[in-house]
Amino acid sequence: MSAKLLRLAAPAAAAIVLLSASACSSGASSSDKKPDSAPAAAGSTVVHVGAVSNGAANPVDIMVAQQDAIRAELPAAIRDSGTLKIVVGDLPAGTPPLDFIGSDQQTLTGSEPDLARLVAGVLGLKPTFDHATWDNMFVGLDSGKEAIAFANVTDTEKRKEKYDFASYRQDNLGFEALKSTTWEFNGDYHVLAGKTIAVGSGTNQEKILLEWQTKLRAEGQDFSVKYYQDANSTLLALTSGKIDVYLGPNPGVAYQVTQTAKSPTPTRIAGEYSGAGATLQGLIAATTKKDSGLAKPVADAINVLISNGDYEKWLTAWNLTTEAVPTSQVNPPGLPLTNS
């Protein structure tokens, strides 16, 4: 696929899955958190998608039926434990609408943990969550402490040396700039010359950005790269004029544009780019340790959600329908080694 600018339209018993981080109760009241639903049928789970999201989602309840044939594909140790250990690289502050602490100040919410809950329901497993920094998320996978990450992880050929992937969403990057400016990213990295650009450390967008910087320097031009601790700090730097542009996951950028719309310093999406570079549509994927045996059953679970319409409900709840994929794939082509 050629580069293009994309337009934003972002066995369980009878149980109720409440949106809760591991070792945390989700019993606090909230305006967008529904009370416990009626008990689900045996082998089914009700997932409260978009609960305690503080307006970032349009909440919806989805009943998920356990699929015994897919459950049988699970590694025996995971199937017998009855638990899916999920890690989310959301520290220190999270990135709405992807992953963040909800309005009750304790529940992990966001599009990524909600999809993990839906997948766990199909597999007949109880989801548990650990919070980590981006780097420590991968440490947890490497050590075997965590089984899988749902955290807006881009499928890259470099990462495939250590991890297996089950894709579930397009990976599109967004350039965020002040609405008062006229700068646009048109797919040509030369327009970055002279700019100060913020990007997340250790991300695939950082790798793409640094490759552009190397090319520009070879041509006698340059731009500055800045790093901030979290999304809030980055937005403050943008609105205060310390940076010109932020390059990040398009869902997070779109969310910030919405949040700043009525502020004195509104922002806008000033261009988009595939997370896999100029020649390939990037993909976001659930990430497991290589050869763990978990990627295929997870992909099969996602495909059940796609075929029965629950996947579309999840995307719609989090305003991410423009990033839908037709199928989940195990280890599809990712960001090339020349970028990653």
Give me the domains of the chain, ranges plus CATH numbers: 15-170+281-323 (3.40.190.10), 172-274 (3.40.190.10)
Alpha-carbon distance values, 92 to 111, 230, 288, 331 (Å): 18, 7, 22, 29
Tokens encoding 157: 């050929």
User: Residue 3's pLDDT is what?
Assistant: 37
Note the pLDDT tens digit of each residue in 89-138: 989 888 899 999 999 999 999 999 999 999 999 999 999 999 999 999 99
| Residue 229 to residue 201: CA distance in whole angstroms | 9
Going by C-alpha positions, the residue among 251, 315, 257 that lies closest to residue 282 is: 251
Confidence of residue 7 (pLDDT cuts 50, 70, 90): very low
295: three-class secondary structure by DSSP: helix
| Residue 191 to residue 206: CA distance in whole angstroms | 17
- What is the pLDDT averaged over residues 8-33? 34
Residues of the chain with pLDDT > 70, as a percent, come to 87
Note the pLDDT tens digit of each residue in 83-101: 999 999 989 888 899 999 9
pLDDT of 2 higher than 70: no
pLDDT of 39 higher than 70: no
Q: Phi/psi of residue 106, each to 5°?
A: -145, -25
User: Residue 337's pLDDT is what?
Assistant: 85
Contact assessment for residue 120 and residue 19, using Cβ atoms and an 8 Å cutoff:
no
Segments in the chain forming alpha helices (H) = 68-71, 76-81, 111-123, 134-143, 204-218, 231-239, 250-260, 295-308, 310-317
User: Residue 335's pLDDT is what?
Assistant: 87
| Residue 33 to residue 35: CA distance in whole angstroms | 7
pLDDT of 16 higher than 60: no
User: Residue 14's pLDDT is what?
Assistant: 32
Tracing tokens 């591991």 back to the chain, one arrives at 22
DSSP per-residue codes, 2-63 = ---PPPP-----SEEE----TT----S--TT-PPPPPPPPTTEEEEEETTT-TTSS--EEEE
Q: Strand 44-49's sheet: what is its strand order?
A: 15-17, 44-49, 60-65
Note the pLDDT tens digit of each residue in 272-290: 999 998 889 999 999 999 9
Note the pLDDT tens digit of each residue in 137-184: 999 999 999 999 999 999 999 999 999 999 999 999 999 999 999 999
Contact assessment for residue 152 and residue 231, using Cβ atoms and an 8 Å cutoff:
no
Tokens encoding 320: 């991410």
